[in-house]
Structure 1
Amino acid sequence: MPADDAPPARNTSPKRRRTTRDESPAPGQSAPQVGSVGSILTLTEGTTFSAPRTPKRASSPIRELTQLCTARPPILQDALAMPTHALSPHVNTRLQALRKRTRQHNMEGYIPRCLKDALGGELAFATALQAEPIDDEAYDDGVDSTREDIADIVERVKAVFQGTELCQKGGKDENGWCLDVVGPLLELAMVLYGHGRFRREIVQSQSIQPAYLSLVLNHSSDPPRERPLFRKTDFCFSYSHLSPQYATLYERLRNTLVAHTTDNFTQRAALFSGVEVKPAGGSLAEAQLQLSIWMAASLRKKAELFRNTFGHESCLDTPAPDPAPAIDEGVDVASTRASTSSPHCPQRDALIEPAVTIIGAEHKLYYALVSGLSDPADPKGCTVSVLGPDRNLAGLSTESISGIFRLARVYGNIFQYGFDEDPKHGYWGAFLGPLLEEVARASNGG
């Protein structure tokens, strides 16, 4: 073959086929399908196509939070000033007393004065205290500590402060905030105000017993079916098995299931409150959803214990025979000398527990209470209201030294409410203590 007739050399560098707007298939032809770059798929009678895979849409926390109010039974997440169900005078009085109690020593007197020199001498705090000095009103003269205790407290505060900085600058996730900030902060509060009564429980991996969950309609199934709405939370508190105040009671309860979880240990522990953590920039709506589900299940379990122990016609469903405490009375310091040896019937208006959401360094306080019984014969059917956040406790943050002490004081107020044995003012004395005493008595045959 002459050289002039030789085919042109093929370019070894593949080029993408150029297309134009007016390029269209000839009549009777199908549009070509592009597979890999530079390849064209020829259609035949045997050619089949698969539907494109689309990622499953994640459930929206806001949508599920909205679903709670129509769930069965409902969980109502309301602002304090706009509850769906009007609170009875007894419940409202106790709630306002608790709110006032949580604010005790929040603006002044929340740092033991014996710590002042140690805080000022800590190099890790020098820049922070120069930028945001601690007012003299923040110090309380009524508490004294040994040198060793002072050093321990300062180290704990430093761990929270430096942990906050590390998590913020490093963009740590939820687990990082739990480990480096929230856990040390809760331990600090228990050292200062817990008196050995509470343990911090990590419940991130624990499930809730399905009987205490609300059901929502799953429209994606055919036909639509109800499904339990389950979300977990991060922390709660248990009345410590190691505390002399509760060790004997736990021994009498033995293997009685007194909590709403499926975990072998915590379902046998008396649980209190709940704390849900999100990283900086995390979803407050999701935190509220998780906290509300946890608190509703916890209160429903306690209501069931009460009904099974005291019967259907009980004072859980009737107002307290004695006047509820006045708001000013309800903020007295917890009485550790009060006795629950004289049994009395717990009251529904005392079944109120505080709980907390945390988004990064910011903490917000809520209050969970039973606001209705959809089925009087079934305490698991309680309508639970989670009210908050409490705007009177705004600006709670671990970004400053004073903020850490303010938060520790708020948690301390929550602890003191939880273990207060006074039958008028305290959660333990008015509700949980006598309830568990009677449960223990019944489980041991009287």
Structure 2
Amino acid sequence: MAGRRQPSPEKRQRVEEGIMPGESASIFSGHPLDLGQHNTFSPLGSHVGSRWGSRPGTGASSPRRGISPSRETIATLKDALPPIQTEPFDGAQLPVNRAIRDKVMAAMERLEPGRVDGWVPRCLQEAIISDNALGVQTFDRHAFIDSPRNLSECDLPLREELQYTLKKVKQIYQRARTCKTRGRDENAWCQVVIQPLVELALELAGNGKLLLQSVQTQAIEPGYLSTDSKTGRRLDQKADFTLSYSHEASDLAALYARLPPRNSAVSHVSDAFTKTTALFSGIEAKPADGDKSEAEYQISIWMGASLLKKAELARMAGLSDITSALIEPAFVVVGHEWYFYLVYLQPTGAVHVLEHGSCSTNSVSGVFKILRVLRNVVEYGLEGFEGGLEAKVGYWGGFLGPVLEKLAAGEERATGNVSAATPGDEVTWIGSTAASHVTI
């Protein structure tokens, strides 16, 4: 954890080849909980200075201090092959390619936390305020969803759902508060805050199609990693969690079963099970005193490799023309704070990671808001699923579903690692140690 803390015994220390010392390897209208249609590297928080400090009075270099991992990784990622640029959404230059640009804007409009209005059912306000165990609780003026004023006015099924949700939210908030006040480590934040909160969102909106999966010990296949343009070193990091399309859902299980052996690897990791599982989004966690820039570095690598793999699958299926819909959300969690990102591929094959918005578990209202954002993300990842191949909408219906169906039907072109582009665009073919540009 940026060299500040001893690793928890439950979590394997992330030490990867070539990593610098100090780096971590690491919903319907009328229902109070329904969702509407309606985040890069931060200022440095590293305590490490530059590797070559000046000797007093000489100006000469001295190896007493180490390069800040944040500084090095920002520059290294941006200049890597293929490049990964992480930056705030405001001020970013989006592609001239209209199809990609419009879809990125639409996804941000739909998913980023700042666009959410109404995330706490009004009928729960009194129950929250009057609960002495919660202490003082405040609410943003846009926090409340129109609903009956009192829980007693709700019909029984709705009342039971709301009471269940409030009980879970209250527990998550209290555990997050304890993690902060008692200085608990990353494992604790993962186990008692992040995991229960994401699983609650999946329970309320996922229909069993998406599952939360821990991937903190799983390696990325080397072919999908960017390389340092100066040294050729693979920039390898891990994330903590991802969402996976479940092998337990009968329709998804049938799709997986139809994939021939040569096309069974549908994710960017080398784990025997996970590589046969379609993945979506990613979460990297740090404790309250953790380094956000380090976490952004990790999630950027994870998401970049994931998108490059999916672009390869699209090319194999002969569907490179639909990769404008290959846009995924991701999260960095540092203690209470949840930062939202949107990740997509530039026509050149570069990975673009955009931060826009944040939420916090430091209040009950904040937990409800993150729950709302997570449910939006889950719905986005499943959109078009129920419509079958004819749907052609959303992330699943407009991209991932058709790609996997084509591969399952044996409809594929020549294999090879390639990032996505539309015909005529410059794309980046990923080799074992470097990348070269070609036009297709």
Aligned pairs (5 A) from 1:268-279: 268-279=276-287
1:356–1:136 distance in 2 versus 1, CA, 3 Å = closer
The residue that corresponds to 1:439 in the other structure is 407
CA distance in 1, matches of 2:395, 2:117: 25
Deviation, 1:279, is 1.3
The residue that corresponds to 2:334 in the other structure is 359
Deviation, 1:118, is 4.8
2:195 match: secondary structure: helix
Q: What is the aligned counterpart of 1:285 among 285, 293, 297?
A: 293
CA distance in 1, matches of 2:143, 2:326: 35
The residue that corresponds to 1:141 in the other structure is 147
The residue that corresponds to 2:75 in the other structure is 66
CA distance in 2, matches of 1:151, 1:354: 29
1:65 is aligned with what amino acid? Answer: I
Does residue 253 (structure 1) correspond to residue 259 (structure 2)? The answer is yes
Work out whether residues 94 and 101 of structure 2, in 8 Å CA contact, stay in contact via their aligned partners in 1.
Answer: no
Does residue 174 (structure 1) correspond to residue 186 (structure 2)? The answer is yes
Deviation, 1:122, is 4.2
1:195–1:120 distance in 2 versus 1, CA, 3 Å = farther
Q: What is the aligned counterpart of 1:400 among 363, 368, 374?
A: 363
The residue that corresponds to 2:353 in the other structure is 386
Q: What is the aligned counterpart of 2:240 among 222, 230, 234?
A: 234
1:162–1:261 distance in 2 versus 1, CA, 3 Å = same
After superposition, give the CA deviation of every residue in 1:187-217 in whole Å (9 maximum; x if it has no partner): 1211222222210011111110000001115
Aligned pairs (5 A) from 1:411-422: 411-421=374-384
CA distance in 1, matches of 2:218, 2:136: 38
The residue that corresponds to 2:397 in the other structure is 429
1:309 is aligned with what amino acid? Answer: A
1:301 is aligned with what amino acid? Answer: K
Does residue 350 (structure 1) correspond to residue 362 (structure 2)? The answer is no
Work out whether residues 392 and 399 of structure 2, in 8 Å CA contact, stay in contact via their aligned partners in 1.
Answer: no
Which moved further from structure 2: 243-252 or 280-289? 243-252
2:306 is aligned with what amino acid? Answer: S
CA distance in 2, matches of 1:306, 1:294: 19
**TM-score for both structures, normalised by structure 2:** 0.70
1:216 match: secondary structure: coil
After superposition, give the CA deviation of every residue in 1:362-383 in whole Å (9 maximum; x if it has no partner): 111111111034xxxxxxxx32
The residue that corresponds to 1:191 in the other structure is 203
Deviation, 1:284, is 1.5
Which runs of no fewer than 5 residues in structure 2 stay unpaired?
A: 1-62, 149-153, 413-440
Deviation, 1:154, is 2.3
The residue that corresponds to 1:338 in the other structure is none
CA distance in 1, matches of 2:186, 2:130: 32
1:187 match: secondary structure: helix
CA distance in 2, matches of 1:148, 1:80: 39
The runs of at least 4 aligned residues of structure 1 exceeding 6 Å deviation read: none
CA distance in 2, matches of 1:146, 1:292: 39
| RMSD between superposed Cα atoms in Å | 2.8
Work out whether residues 76 and 84 of structure 1, in 8 Å CA contact, stay in contact via their aligned partners in 2.
Answer: no
CA distance in 1, matches of 2:129, 2:284: 33
**TM-score for both structures, normalised by structure 1:** 0.69
CA distance in 2, matches of 1:440, 1:107: 37
Q: What is the aligned counterpart of 1:209 among 205, 221, 225?
A: 221
The residue that corresponds to 2:118 in the other structure is 109
